Structure 1
Amino acid sequence: MLTLGTLAGRAELELAFAGGVSSASHGAVRVVQVATLTLPQLLEGEPQRRLAPGTLVLLTEVPFRLRGRAEVALETLVEQLALDDCAGLVAHVASGDHQPFPHGVRALAAAVGLPLLTTTAPLRQWTVVRRGLQDRRLAVVERQAAQLSALVEELPARLADPGAMQRVADGLARALRAQVLVSEPERVLAAAPATAADALARALPRGPGEGTGPGPWTRIVPLGLTGEGDARLGPQGAGPRGEPDAVHGGATFGRGGSTLDGGGSTSGVAASTSGQGGSTLGAEAPTSGQGGSTPGREDASTPGQDVSTLGAEAPTSGQGRSTPGQDGAVLAVTRPAPSFDDADLRLLDHAARLLGLLDQARREHRTATDTAYAVRRAAVELLLDAEVDKARRVMAAQAPGLLSPEAVRAFVVDVPATHRDAVLRRCETATAGLALAVADPREDRRVLVVEPVRTGRADDRVATALTRLVAGLGSDASLGGSGVHRMAMLADAVQEAVTAQRFALRRPDAVALSAQSTDLIDVLPAPAARRWARAFLRPVLRPLDHWELLRETLPTALAYPYSVAARRLHVHRNTVRRRVARAAELLEMDFSTVTDRIAVGFALDVLAAERQVPARPAGPFADPAPTLHDLLTTPEATAWAESLLCGARGDHRGLLATATAWLAHDAHVEPAARALGLSEFTVRSHLRALEAHTARDLGSLRGLRDLQFALHILTGKVDITDLRGGLCATP
């Protein structure tokens, strides 16, 4: 750091304070550049520009006495140098001259606090000083460019990058060789190294008069800070009149005037000031152990200044800029040594602005994310209430077409409640554009994933992504999935997924996806299955309005008691009873029996993907409708049944015999137990074991259907209802 005292101590400069002023008064004033000015140039009105703070002006061609016009011009120069916060005025005099400054000039300089000095050294010595300052400035500029380049390399590809703040903090810590903390009053946003949070915690102000620096040099800057005035520097030695010493080189004035080294002429000041257009940074404060007076001007920062008072005034809203630190987010930096120079301060300014943008982007992204999540959650709630059209309208702006399919499957991810939010974000990322992921409002451990399924498109991307995600979460996570349901039956799909998730807890991989190539409808030949379903339901397909009512009512009424179905359908239970009775009459079936309910429910599921029934019946040359027995004897159906009952067939307890008797007695435990000669408790335990083996909920119509059809395919001991209400058994 170059000061007036340092220069006065160089014997080759022959520099002395004039007018009886001691070096103790101004010896610590920092010098950032040397500018030469001849007396003729002064008389012509130079300098015509403001000078950089910390400039030491060397006045040459000075006569033994300055009088008249020269004295007036010199007084004007003293006033200008004081206003420009210059380091001082040096008069170059011949050897033996002692006092070139008139009494009036000395009195004025003392009044404005501008040091006056004289030198008798050759001008080439001052050229060396000027070049040294220029070299130092160049080194600082190169270092600052390298630091800025390193900071720019940490810029994120997108502002909402969650790791962007940490990378910028890491880069700043490397560049400054300091500890860096970015924080809000309630939490840490980034810390480099990780221990910086503890090291800087005491420095962060929590209220008036609080906060003490953890080390000799600490700076606290509100994020997004933009400068509007002079930078307040710390005890490094510069007050409002000076900048750090390694900022500026030399400058000359005048038109055609010679430089000190005779290398041509320059005009103006070849330097920029941090006070103009620069950033207003927080003050730099050493701890009380670094006491002592601050060299420099009388209003410079002083050692031991309370860190809680540091910082700069925020620009007014009229300037079109956000108020820095309005949310309490700050950048805090500390290091034991050396103190921060101007290049460091500028880098801090740039980093604070960048971090402010990242913080603003983070907040705006979080707001947008929260809004988008609220929309998704509302859409899922509407789907659970069977309000499909309303859900589509809600999602139309955010994800056009996502809910346009008529079918849906559900997944349930179960994790510890403390991890659910993080897992939810990962589910959102893994299924973006393919499904809706929301937190289950009824269970704080669950994440619901709703995947719309397009007809004829086999797509297991969602299931695969969730399976991979759960595998990476460890033993505390499990995944359950459902088969494909109509969109309006999402509640059933979720319940099936919840049941599958419970089954998943007993599996090594903690995954049970009943929709993962294990649904019977998926393995049947679709055209033949649809022909069978239309033939089976032909009595209720016409008229069309009658069919629409039954299509909405029957799946729910067959799966639930009439009172529950009425609540789900938002109609009176007598209406449900009347519609079901009408359908049973037309189909010539008894819905009190399991086999008839299963057959009708299966036919409805097969047609669920069709938006409407064909406008006219099949012609005489159309392919005949197959029987259900024909569909279930295909190789694909046989493989499906073997896969479903593989575990149960190997169980030594005779689970399949229990299931056969149970289905033969319309799923009643008591008569099945009597027929088998077992206790009701044993029958129930067998059924629970069967649920675990098949990953099916035997309390649901779909679970009963899969069990009945699989037993029919493999054992032939379970009858099924086929066309025209007849029972079919495998020969």
Structure 2
Amino acid sequence: MAGRPDEGQAFPQPYGGDNAWTQELLGHLRPAGRDLRRLVAWLARTVRASVCLQDAGGGLLAGERLPLDDAVVADVTSGRVSAAALQDGERHLRLLGIRHPGSGPAARAVLAVARPAPFDRRTADILGHTAGVLELLLRERELAESGRRLRRATADLRLAILQLLMVEDTVSARRVAAGLWPGLLEEDTARVYVLEGTAVERDRLADACVAATDGRALVVRCPAVDEHVIVVGPSAEVGQRLRSLVADRPGTFLGGSPRQRLALTATAYGQAVTALAVARFHPDRAAVYAARTRPAQLMDTAALRAWAAAVLRPLDALPHHVRAELLATTRLGLEFTAVNAAKVLGVSRNTVRARMDRVAALLGADLSRATARAIVHAALNTEAAHGTYDPRGGAPGPPARTRLAELLDTSALRSWAEGLLGRLDTDGRDLRGTLRAWTAADAHAERAAQALGVHAQTVRERVRAAEPVLERRLTAGGTDLYEVVLAQLVTGELPVPGLGAPDQDQPDASVHR
């Protein structure tokens, strides 16, 4: 085998007046025709040759794999020669280096063309011009890949900020956001929005949200639900722009939370998801979390805070960052499934379960029970809403101990609970009794069915029928279910459970009302 280096890559004018191939080559620069494989296949047909385009590392980019001399390929890729012409028996071979403009002599790809006939002037023209087009297409491809990597890195950074907010680490979230989005999280409060479209269109929806909010919001592709985009917007204008966006996109829905402290981003997220369920039935496909009466609003605030502090007291000995991490994870784990909570937080589901198991052990709470989950959820939300409780409140001596049964035993709460559950009494299917059996069975339809003597599918259908009557999502768990459980505790349809050992230091002993 013999070889000679060419003087350099040339781009001569079409030879002999044959310019049909130039028009075809230009067609590969049109937006619809920019494809390396199609261009290499065209070259193979036009010059009646076998063609291979490989990267500097030997990876095949297009065409067919050809046996090449490693030493000659190394000379071309290193830039020692820009092109080489070889003859191996009956095979005539040309190698051309495809380079970055202004990036030095090294080639980022090699075009190899082998054919039985020698390379004439016309064939050399076609190869030279094709190499120039390949250079443009490779450059465009690399720029597109760089853009994808940048968008992916930006999306990962946005998700990291959201995850910091979810675990109440607002200081770190602001620090991370400050570099790319100055002022985004300067305010202490924000609203959380969740938009729902299709999984296929989710990326376009997220890009549209970024454009619509013009840097005034944190836009994140939800790590837990493929159809969702999460938006954290400090300004009220963000909500208006998102509503306009949804109005112009059929099949898209928007749920929003009320304004919440940044430390309550996880709570606001749950509220936005609840509002999203309502938005599916609104003509404008948008809804904000309803400001309906909550059981906590009907309790004595000081007594409620004292009770919540007593429930969570076993966690107070933990380092502050560990305690905050455990509580934030448990709050999300109680609101959503462990799998979805793990995706939102960016940890494994085993980590979520381990943290929740640790909290359950410290609190002496069996979180497999619906009543225990509702009580711990109430305690966590009370602390999140009101901050750390001062046990003395400025007065000497320890605070008066409050038990949950005492908190629930008020006329205001009884009126609220009866009003809520009483909506089910007019249905002839005994929705109220079925719901009571279902929550007593910790939301297991099969166990509730055994207690009622009906089929499990009947239980499921009745629970789903109760949802629009109560205006609450029950089968999905979370806040709506826990409110119904609290109502059943108030009316005595469920027993008030105890947390921890039944001694004088525990906030609740096992009490049946």
TM-score (norm: length of structure 1): 0.38
Aligned counterpart, 1:604 = 380
Residue identity in the other structure for 1:719: P
The 2-side partners of 1:463 and 1:631 are apart by 39
- One-letter code of the match for 1:534? A
- 1:502 paired to 2:285: no
Distance in 2 separating the partners of 1:636 and 1:657: 23
* Per-residue deviation, 1:682: 1.3
Structure 1 match to 2:213: 428
Give, in whole Å, the separation in 2 of the partners of 1:689 and 1:382.
39
Structure 2 equivalent of residue 379 of structure 1: 158
Equivalent residue for 1:305?
none
* Contact 1:595–1:720 (CA under 8 A) maintained in structure 2: yes
The correspondence of residues 262-411 of structure 1 with structure 2, limited to 5 A, is 378-384=157-163, 386=166, 388=169, 389-396=171-178, 398-400=181-183, 402=185, 405=188, 410-411=192-193
Distance 1:587 1:641, change over 3 A: same
1:282 alignment counterpart: none
- Structure 1 residue corresponding to 2:311, chosen from 521, 536, 559: 536
Match of 2:480?
703
1:655, distance to aligned residue in structure 2 (A): 2.3
Residue 413 (structure 1) shift: 3.2
**Residues 1:671 and 2:450 aligned together:** no
User: Over residues 121-169 of structure 1, what are the superposed CA-to-partner deviations in whole Å (9 max), with x where a residue is unaligned?
Assistant: xxxxxxxxxxxxxxxxxxxxxxxxxxxxxxxxxxxxxxxxxxxxxxxxx
- DSSP-derived class of the 1:396 partner: helix
* Structure-2 residue corresponding to 1:34: none
Measured against aligned partners, the alpha-carbon deviations of 1:64-105 in whole angstroms (never above 9, x if no partner) come to xxxxxxxxxxxxxxxxxxxxxxxxxxxxxxxxxxxxxxxxxx
Cα distance, 1:402 vs structure 2:
2.3
Q: Is the 8 A contact 1:427 1:437 kept in 2?
A: no
String of CA shifts for 1:255-291, please: whole Å, max 9, x gaps.
Answer: xxxxxxxxxxxxxxxxxxxxxxxxxxxxxxxxxxxxx
Change (3 A) 1:384 1:584: closer
Whether the 8 Å CA contact 1:479–1:504 is kept in 2: the answer is yes
CA distance in 2, matches of 1:643, 1:466: 37
Does the 8 Å CA contact 1:440/1:446 hold for their aligned counterparts?
Answer: yes
User: CA 1:502–1:574 in structure 2 vs 1: closer, same or farther (change >3 Å)?
Assistant: closer
1: CA distance between counterparts of 2:341 and 2:242? 33
Shift of 1:591: 3.1
Q: Summarize the Cα distance change of 1:570–1:661 in structure 2 as closer, same or farther, 3 Å threshold.
A: same
TM-superposition CA deviations, 1:7-34 (whole Å, max 9, x none): xxxxxxxxxxxxxxxxxxxxxxxxxxxx
> Cα distance 1:512–1:616, how it changes in 2: closer, same or farther (>3 A)?
same
- What are structure 1's unaligned runs of at least 5 residues? 1-184, 187-370, 453-458
Residue of structure 1 in register with 2:15 after alignment: none
Distance in 2, Cα, partners of 1:710 & 1:518: 12
In 2, the alpha carbon distance for the partners of 1:444 and 1:552 equals: 23
SS in 2 for 1:533: helix
Give 1:660 shift. Answer: 0.7
State the 1:607 CA deviation.
1.0
Letter paired with 1:530: R
Distance in 1 between residues matched to 2:286 and 2:352, nearest whole Å: 40
The CA deviation at 1:678 is 1.9
Q: 1:648-663, aligned counterparts within 5 Å? A: 648=424, 651-663=427-439
Give the counterpart letter for 1:413 in structure 2: L
Residue 587 in structure 1 maps to residue 370 in structure 2: no
Deviations 1:697-726 (A, max 9, x none): 53334333122013334x431223366343
Distance 2:251 2:348 in 1: 42
* Residues 191-206 of structure 1 aligned to structure 2 (within 5 Å): none
Q: Who is 2:458 aligned against? A: 682
* 2:185 alignment partner AA: L
1:516 to 284, 291, 302: 291
Provide closer, same or farther for how the CA distance between residues 496 and 700 of structure 1 changes in structure 2, counting only shifts above 3 A.
Answer: farther
Distance in 2, Cα, partners of 1:574 & 1:375: 26
State the alpha-carbon separation in 2 of the partners of residues 464 and 538 from structure 1.
38
Query: Contact (CA 8 Å) 2:307, 2:507: kept in 1 or not?
Result: no
2:194, 2:272 within 8 Å by CA — same for their partners in 1? yes
Q: Is the 8 A contact 2:184 2:218 kept in 1?
A: no
For 2:467 and 2:484, how far apart are their aligned partners in 1? 10
User: Secondary structure at 2:454's aligned position in 1?
Assistant: coil
1:579-616: per-residue Cα shift (whole Å, max 9, x none)? 65554454343333222232122211211246656497
Residue 378 of structure 1 deviates from its aligned partner by 3.6
Give distance in 1, aligned partners of 2:348 and 2:197: 37
Q: Deviations for 1:603-633, whole angstroms, at most 9, x for unmatched residues?
A: 1121124665649798655652443344445
| 1:538 shift after superposition | 2.4
Q: Is the 8 A contact 2:472 2:481 kept in 1?
A: no
8 Å contact kept, 2:441–2:447: yes
Query: Do the aligned partners of residues 572 and 469 (structure 1) sit closer, same or farther apart at CA in structure 2, a change above 3 Å counting?
Result: closer
Residue identity matched to 2:493: K
Letter paired with 1:706: E
The residue type equivalent to 1:709 in the other structure is L
* Amino acid paired to 2:441: H
Contact between 2:220 and 2:230, CA under 8 Å: does it hold in 1? yes
Would the aligned equivalents of 1:395 and 1:403 in 2 still touch at CA under 8 Å?
A: no
Say what the alpha-carbon RMSD is for the aligned residues: 5.0
CA displacement, residues 16-62 of structure 1 (integer Å, 9 cap, x when unaligned): xxxxxxxxxxxxxxxxxxxxxxxxxxxxxxxxxxxxxxxxxxxxxxx
- Distance change >3 Å, CA 504–CA 683, structure 1 → 2: farther
Q: Describe the SS at the equivalent of 2:255.
A: strand
Aligned 8 A contact 2:392 2:399 in 1: no
Q: Is the 8 A contact 1:717 1:729 kept in 2?
A: no
Structure with a larger share of its residues in helix? 2
Distance 2:279 2:352 in 1: 39
Distance change (3 Å), C-alpha of 1:705 and 1:597: same
2:494 equivalent to 1:712 = no
How far apart in 1 are the matches of 2:221 and 2:335?
27
Q: SS at the partner of 1:480? A: strand
Tell me, yes or no, if the aligned pair for 2:436 and 2:493 is still in contact at 8 Å.
Answer: yes
User: Map of 1:206-221 to 2, 5 A cutoff?
Assistant: none
Q: CA deviation at 1:674?
A: 1.6
Cα distance in 2 for partners of 1:657, 1:501 equals: 29
- Structure 1 pair 633–705 and aligned structure 2 pair: CA distance change class (3 A): same
What's the TM-score, normalizing by structure 2?
Answer: 0.52
> Is this contact kept in 1: 2:338–2:352, CA < 8 A?
no
In structure 2, the residue corresponding to 1:450 is in which secondary structure?
Answer: strand
Contact 1:486 / 1:608 at 8 angstroms: preserved in 2? no
Is the partner of 2:507 in helix, strand or coil? helix
1:673 partner amino acid? A
